[in-house]
Amino acid sequence: MSWLHTWAGLVVGWLLFAIFLTGTACYFRPEISAWMHRLAPIALPDQPSQARLAAAWLQAEAPDAVSWLIDFSDGREPVLKVAAGRPHGYVAQRLDPMTGAPEAGPETVGGDFLFYVHFTLIMSDWGRILGRYLVGICAMIMGVAIVTGVIVHKRIFKDAFTFRPRAAAQRAWLDGHNLLGVMSLPFHLMITWSGLITLMLLYMPWAVDAGYPGGRAGYAADLDGIAAAGAPAGPAQPAALTDLGQVVAAASAAWSADGRDIRVGRVEVDRPGTTAARLTLTPQDADQLARLPEALVFDGTTGRLIADGRGQGGAAAAVHHTLYGLHLARFAGLPLRWLFFAAGLAGTAMIATGLVLWSVKRRPKTGAAGRGRGHRLVDALNIGCLVGLPAAIAGQFLANRLLPADIAGRAVLEPAAFYLVWLAFLLAGAWRSDGSGWMRALLAAALLWAAVPVADVLVTGRDPLGALAAGDRVFWGLQLACLVMALALGRLAMILRARSRRGGAA
């Protein structure tokens, strides 16, 4: 068991670290997006008027589309996202919710990049399926590592609160690894399992395929508690679309009938501009833990309610929605989201301490020969990933602020900055993987994080005190988060320096 835990953890540890780190950052994906798109906080207009703006833009830009999607903001990122599916392609746009015009400002990937790295490891077409499979394999092995970790930790209750930072290196790292692993165990189990659930149709599609011989549409309809859309009778004639504002207001009122306050999250328009048009509305994820299966379907020409999914879904759908909701944590208000973030950081640190522990445990005794080739490889990868990945996120933020606003392909250059910084740290780790290599890498990462708030203020010309008066939570949240990262990494570098001066090793 101990062998299995050690090697399972080592084989996927670096990828798991990347998955956990980017996933933890994604709890604040809307805020990161708002920061990268340079959006100032606004009071959002009511949803019906936003829906009319979105419909007007789609009507002008994509009248021939087979389907439209309108995603409303949950209040964290002031943007209205619209998309249109055409037979020959797909167009997506971010609109200003006040005016309905496409968002001004420099092109950027926003928080979506970290989101896609989290479950595909790379943001490109060819990595789409392969990356998801890799992440799934990592998650399965993470499950193995969690279970074996509990089994090999014999003194799990006796050592419950034990942490000896001043003891010998191996003891200190092991204490830290155990503490982070055991105390957030419910979170680690939940996040690993629910993460697999989010992509279960890719990993294990056979049960759904057997249960729904008619295809995935029936499955999706059951999740929403509505009947699958049948084929329209006869050819569709052109017809004007009903007023979306009224439909959105009606749906919100229907969901909020029992005293809850539930907004509309998404409007799907099938075959807009024809007599066969159907509107499917689903509630906002942010307003409830499990998005209950309660979609509402309206006729697209008359605005009449034609299908009501409220209270229709079964227990299986409720379980799926609960696990999915727990993984994304969109239901969480600000304090609870910070707790999720802290738990995610604990998971990230647990993986990091485990990887460091592998190396510390096998450190050659004084006077013995130096490290073997495998040992040097692990150390190099530890520096390249455990320090390089946090630095790479800072590199991406810096690229967002420092690249000229009108440069071509800006949205490709930001991810490129991420990968380049990561590569630089991997090379630096390969070059020097001993204590001084660690120290320099940590110091470089700390400087990168410290540069982000400075570049932010210099480039956007935002006045920090003015932002405080205006209650700009996103600005201050990111400023402070970057400073905390810089201080933490810098502190680690100083601890290492003090230890190396004393002649000991970390």
Partner 1 sequence: MITLVILAIGISAATALALAMTRHHEQCYGRNAAARRQPVRRRLEGWGLILIAAGLAVFTDGWGRGLVLVAGVVGLAAPLAAGLFAWRPAWAGRVIAAGWLAVVAGLCGLVFGFA
- Asked if 144 touches partner 1 (CB under 8 A), the answer is no
Q: Extract the tokens encoding 254.
A: 């229907």
Q: Figure out which of the listed residues 162, 170, 302, 436 binds partner 1, where binding follows CB under 8 A.
A: 162
Please give the Cα distance from 26 to 322 (Å, whole number): 19
- Asked if 498 touches partner 1 (CB under 8 A), the answer is no
Q: Extract the tokens encoding 157.
A: 């209750």
In the complex, the smallest distance separating the C-beta of residue 190 from partner 1, rounded to whole angstroms, is 8
- Asked if 219 touches partner 1 (CB under 8 A), the answer is no
Residues 95-118 as b/e (b if ≥16 CB within 10 A, e otherwise) read bbbeebeebeebbbbbbbbbbbbb
410-to-91, 98, 110, 118, 416 alpha-carbon distances in Å: 18, 26, 11, 21, 10
DSSP states of 42-109: --PPPHHHHHHHHHHHHHHH-TT-SEEEEE---SSS--EEEEEEETTEEEEEEE-TTT-SBPPS----
Q: Figure out which of the listed residues 124, 163, 217, 364 binds partner 1, where binding follows CB under 8 A.
A: 163
- Asked if 335 touches partner 1 (CB under 8 A), the answer is yes
Separate counts of helices (H) and strands (E) for the chain: 19, 7
Q: Extract the tokens encoding 234.
A: 């006869």
In the complex, the smallest distance separating the C-beta of residue 340 from partner 1, rounded to whole angstroms, is 7
Nearer to partner 1, 339 or 470 (CB): 339
DSSP state of 308: E
Nearer to partner 1, 183 or 227 (CB): 183
- Asked if 165 touches partner 1 (CB under 8 A), the answer is yes
Residues 156-189 as b/e (b if ≥16 CB within 10 A, e otherwise) read eeeeeeeeeeeeebeebbbbbbbbbbbebeebbe
**Which residues in the 336-355 window bind partner 1 by CB under 8 A?**
336, 339-340, 342-343, 346
In the complex, the smallest distance separating the C-beta of residue 322 from partner 1, rounded to whole angstroms, is 8
Question: Which range in 102-110, 162-170, 211-219, 228-236 contacts partner 1 by CB under 8 A?
Answer: 162-170
Question: Which range in 46-54, 126-134, 157-165, 438-446 contacts partner 1 by CB under 8 A?
Answer: 157-165
In the complex, the smallest distance separating the C-beta of residue 12 from partner 1, rounded to whole angstroms, is 23
Which region holds residue 374: left if phi is over 0, alpha if psi is between -120 and 50, else beta? alpha
8 A C-beta contact, residue 79 and residue 97: yes
Question: Which range in 161-169, 205-213, 386-394, 437-445 contacts partner 1 by CB under 8 A?
Answer: 161-169
- Asked if 239 touches partner 1 (CB under 8 A), the answer is no
DSSP state of 238: B
Question: Which range in 129-137, 269-277, 286-294, 395-403 contacts partner 1 by CB under 8 A?
Answer: 286-294
Please give the Cα distance from 273 to 300 (Å, whole number): 8
8 A C-beta contact, residue 92 and residue 110: no
- Asked if 216 touches partner 1 (CB under 8 A), the answer is no
Nearer to partner 1, 57 or 340 (CB): 340
Torsion of CA 162, 163, 166, 167, to 10 degrees: 50
In the complex, the smallest distance separating the C-beta of residue 347 from partner 1, rounded to whole angstroms, is 10
Nearer to partner 1, 179 or 399 (CB): 179
Question: Which range in 133-141, 159-167, 355-363, 409-417 contacts partner 1 by CB under 8 A?
Answer: 159-167
Q: Figure out which of the listed residues 187, 193, 203, 476 binds partner 1, where binding follows CB under 8 A.
A: 187
8 A C-beta contact, residue 103 and residue 90: no
Sequence-separated (6 or more) residues with CB below 8 Å from residue 189: 146
Q: Figure out which of the listed residues 184, 192, 252, 433 binds partner 1, where binding follows CB under 8 A.
A: 184
- Asked if 255 touches partner 1 (CB under 8 A), the answer is no
- Asked if 331 touches partner 1 (CB under 8 A), the answer is yes
In the complex, the smallest distance separating the C-beta of residue 215 from partner 1, rounded to whole angstroms, is 33
- Asked if 174 touches partner 1 (CB under 8 A), the answer is no
Q: Is the dihedral of CA 445, 450, 451, 456 positive or negative?
A: positive
DSSP states of 405-434: TT-TTHHHHHHHHHHHHHHHHHHHHHH--S
Nearer to partner 1, 255 or 340 (CB): 340
Nearer to partner 1, 162 or 302 (CB): 162
- Asked if 289 touches partner 1 (CB under 8 A), the answer is yes
Nearer to partner 1, 176 or 415 (CB): 176
In the complex, the smallest distance separating the C-beta of residue 176 from partner 1, rounded to whole angstroms, is 9
Q: Which of 387, 375, 455, 382 is nearest to 422 (CA)?
A: 387
Binding residues for partner 1, total number by CB under 8 A: 29
Q: Figure out which of the listed residues 44, 137, 183, 424 binds partner 1, where binding follows CB under 8 A.
A: 183
Q: Figure out which of the listed residues 62, 196, 290, 351 binds partner 1, where binding follows CB under 8 A.
A: 290
In the complex, the smallest distance separating the C-beta of residue 194 from partner 1, rounded to whole angstroms, is 12
Q: What is the gyration radius of the CA atoms in the chain, in angstroms?
A: 25
Q: Figure out which of the listed residues 161, 234, 238, 373 binds partner 1, where binding follows CB under 8 A.
A: 161
| Residues of this chain that bind partner 1 (CB under 8 A) | 158, 160-166, 179-180, 183-187, 288-290, 326, 331-333, 335-336, 339-340, 342-343, 346
